[in-house]
Amino acid sequence: MRVKRISRFEFQLLERFWELGPSSVREVQEALPEEHRPAYTTVQTMIYRLEEKGALRRLKKIGNAHIFEAVLTRTAVHKRLITDLLEMFGGSPTSVMSHLVETGKLTLADIRAIERDLSRRERKS
């Protein structure tokens, strides 16, 4: 089953679940940054929508509150986001890297670290 598209704010909420583990609406809402913290019912609505999309599920009930947990893993969603972006770029990962480098976001040290990591992995397999 192809996972439905996850919006930016939905992604923020999922991050909370990955961070906190199974949580109630209240817990997630309070874990959001104070500066931009939507109303309780706003968070509730988004959580319901994530449930409909199959990204969250109701785990149990504590008191009168439902406890939700993430169905998708952080890694899976991250991959999906990157794959989508890559698709827009005609599937060229090197051009993504070039941009990262050009904006100074990726340093030589970062690249060397990844390279070490990757060559270690290749030797193993």
Contacting positions for DNA (CB under 7 A):
5-10, 24-26, 36, 38-42, 44-46, 49, 63-66
CB atoms within 10 A of CB 66: 17
78 binds, among its own copies, DNA, none (CB under 5 to 8 A by kind): its own copies
Q: Which of 32, 59, 67, 86 binds its own copies (CB under 8 A)?
A: 86
CA proximity to 17, closest of 41, 38, 43, 35: 43
Q: Which of 26, 60, 61, 79 binds its own copies (CB under 8 A)?
A: 79
